[in-house]
A and B are shown apart, each in its own frame.
Chain A
Amino acid sequence: MDHHEGFREFVLARQQALVRTAYLLVGDPHLAEDLLQSVLANVVGQWPKLVRDGNPEAYTRRALVNQYISWRRRPRPESPSATLPEHGFSPVEAALDRLVLRRALARLTRKQRAVIVLRYWEDLTEAQTAEVLGCSVGTVKSQTHHALARLRTLAPELMNAEAEEALR
């Protein structure tokens, strides 16, 4: 029997959800795939242990965030460009929101972006977010505060009263 069978089933079942998280973190489809593949290479090494006494999906999500944050420590040889990548245009409001959000997320720090993705996309609690990020709940609260404050400046149209509620 193939000893990677369980890992294979896991990836095939969860790949789309994982790549969406990766995409929200990095904001680029190709980098998202790179990030996910890099993380899965680590996950497969831990697979027997994860199956025995862990939660593979939570571990993978945590690894995605950690890897994403740690990428800032790598050399970044890319050339900054004044022109934005081409994206499809849609006149509908939702599409405009996505454009605004994409640009705003790109201006956040990596930890702030990770907090936003975990709290508002993954719908994790502050305690769960703290566990994923390996920090205290207080740090999650402060990171969320700073991230939302930054988003409020960058994309005020996206921030309504409900989001403000999270600050309190």
Chain B
Amino acid sequence: MTRLRDALVGLAEEAPAMSLGENLVHAAIATHRRRRQRRATVAAVAAAVAVVTATTAGVTVLRPKAAHPAAPAAPAAPAAPAGQDAVTDLPDGPVGAISHSYRIPCAFDRATHEADCGVAELRVVTVSGRTYRVAQALLHATGERDTPVAISRDGRMFAYYRRDAGTFVVRDLVKGGERAAPVLVPARRIGVGAMLTLSDDGRYLAFDPREGTKQDATMMDLASRRTTSIPGVYEVISIKDGTAELIRYRKTDLWLRPFGGGGEPVRFKGPHIMFSELAPDGRTVVATEFPEHQKGILTVLDTRTGRALRKVTVRGLPQKPGLTAVTLWRSSSEVVVVADGRKERAAYAVDVESGRARRLIGYGSHWRVNLPGVSYGI
């Protein structure tokens, strides 16, 4: 065998170990079905869009931050106690997965009516309860707008805007090391309600410069150093295996869009808000049809047909103010929601069959909490 052959064999052995197994099979089958469905139903979808547009015309839905704020993960550890003092700078090396991040806000001097942002900090809390200050993070963009952060759903990866890098970086908290986004993002691009979404493996990062506007978002592949634009009318809910779950409010459309493009939006009848990530079955999501969130009613939606499969009234949540976000799946039957009570904001696991809710964790009085797998702060 030649040296060239030897080198080829050696190089081939560096290929990733395919532990995907059934996931690869399912992904291939699902992609095939989406393509087939898209080919077969282009005309039908166009007609359906026209009909649904007509039926939903005149419905006005507010989609402000208040309508779908917070969100929880499936945290395994209790929140760090408020006011924890033993805070050190986040080291470069591994510290372990985190359960959430929060911010120390600027101090406001009532006498001079001036804000002192020298005391402001971004902090992360590990699942073991240690708190670190992310000293290198830029906290505020132009106009004192908060810079967005994101945590992967397992808490291993943390994305934030690094001042000296001039862009977002993804920190591997378990192995250590950091990887910068493939493009610079000037801080002036960060607008009101900017959002950041991070994939489970930290490879994909989506930056929406201004929530609720038509400014395009940017999805970045930190491995291949490529970027792609996401139409501004959509909001990124989650990224899984390189496919972003996008929501267009008011209509309401859901688009499972692969990084390189493709896929087709599906339209739900009626305005829906507070979308969960895609369920483990790869097909359904949970949302609430506006304004049924006030009554704690969730709707299970089929992302392939656009049909509402069933409605579930959640039992066991605080009565008021009530449901504020629907987020990750803990299992094939439980989705995590965030609800506000009179005394605290907490995450609950909701059985999507029975509607029974059980409390998972409270978030205390921390400010601007970010949770694993959720693209916006609470």
- Could you say which residues of chain B place their CB within 8 Å of the CB of A32? 15-16
Q: Residue of A at shortest CB range from B227?
A: A77
Q: Could you say which interface size class chain A belongs to? A: 35 or more
- Could you say which residues of chain B place their CB within 8 Å of the CB of A29? 14-16, 223
Contact, CB under 8 Å: A120 / B27: no
Contact, CB under 8 Å: B4 / A94: no
Contact, CB under 8 Å: A44 / B228: no
Give the complex CA separation of A157 and B6 in angstroms.
12
Tell me how far the C-beta of A157 lies from the nearest C-beta in chain B, rounded to whole angstroms: 8
Give the complex CA separation of A68 and B2 in angstroms.
26
Contact, CB under 8 Å: A23 / B16: yes
Binds B, one of A35-43, A48-56, A131-139: A35-43
Is B85 an interface residue, CB under 8 A from the partner?
A: no
- Could you say which residues of chain A place their CB within 8 Å of the CB of B36? 45
Contact, CB under 8 Å: B25 / A12: yes
Q: Choose among B13, B15, B226 the residue that contacts A78 (Cβ–Cβ < 8 A).
A: B226
- The size of the chain B interface, using a CB distance under 8 A, is 41
- Could you say which residues of chain B place their CB within 8 Å of the CB of A7? 25, 28-29
Q: Choose among A21, A78, A120 the residue that contacts B225 (Cβ–Cβ < 8 A).
A: A78
Contact, CB under 8 Å: B15 / A15: no
- Could you say which residues of chain B place their CB within 8 Å of the CB of A21? 12
Contact, CB under 8 Å: A158 / B28: no
Tell me how far the C-beta of A110 lies from the nearest C-beta in chain B, rounded to whole angstroms: 16
* Residues 227 to 241 of chain B near chain A (Cβ within 8 Å): 227-228
* Residues 25 to 72 of chain A near chain B (Cβ within 8 Å): 28-34, 36-38, 40-45
Q: Which of B35, B224, B226 has the most CB of A within 10 A?
A: B224
Give the complex CA separation of A155 and B27 in angstroms.
38
* Residues 138 to 168 of chain A near chain B (Cβ within 8 Å): 151, 157-160, 162-163
- Could you say which residues of chain B place their CB within 8 Å of the CB of A74? 260
- Could you say which residues of chain A place their CB within 8 Å of the CB of B242? 34
Query: 1/0 per position for B1-14, CB-CB distance to A under 8 A?
Result: 01111111111111
Is A130 an interface residue, CB under 8 A from the partner?
A: no
- Could you say which residues of chain B place their CB within 8 Å of the CB of A31? 224
Is B281 an interface residue, CB under 8 A from the partner?
A: no
Is B82 an interface residue, CB under 8 A from the partner?
A: no
Contact, CB under 8 Å: B11 / A102: yes
* Residues 78 to 136 of chain A near chain B (Cβ within 8 Å): 78-79, 81, 94-95, 97-98, 100-102, 105, 116-117, 120-121
Query: 1/0 per position for B190-204, CB-CB distance to A under 8 A?
Result: 000000000000010
Q: Which of A21, A28, A44, A76 has the most CB of B within 10 A?
A: A44
CB-CB nearest 8 A-B residue pairs: A23-B15, A40-B28, A41-B31, A78-B226, A20-B12, A97-B7, A29-B16, A162-B2
Known: A8-B22, A78-B182, A160-B2. 15 other contacts (CB 8 A): A11-B24, A19-B18, A21-B12, A23-B16, A30-B221, A37-B24, A42-B32, A44-B29, A78-B224, A79-B225, A97-B6, A98-B10, A117-B8, A158-B7, A163-B2
Listed in ascending order, the chain A residues whose CB lies under 8 Å from chain B are 4, 7-8, 11-12, 15-16, 19-24, 28-34, 36-38, 40-45, 74, 76-79, 81, 94-95, 97-98, 100-102, 105, 116-117, 120-121, 151, 157-160, 162-163
Q: List 29 A-B contacts (CB under 8 A).
A: A8-B25, A11-B28, A15-B18, A16-B15, A19-B16, A29-B14, A29-B15, A30-B16, A30-B221, A32-B16, A33-B16, A37-B24, A41-B28, A44-B28, A45-B35, A77-B227, A78-B227, A81-B225, A94-B7, A97-B7, A98-B10, A98-B11, A101-B4, A120-B2, A120-B8, A160-B3, A160-B4, A162-B2, A163-B2
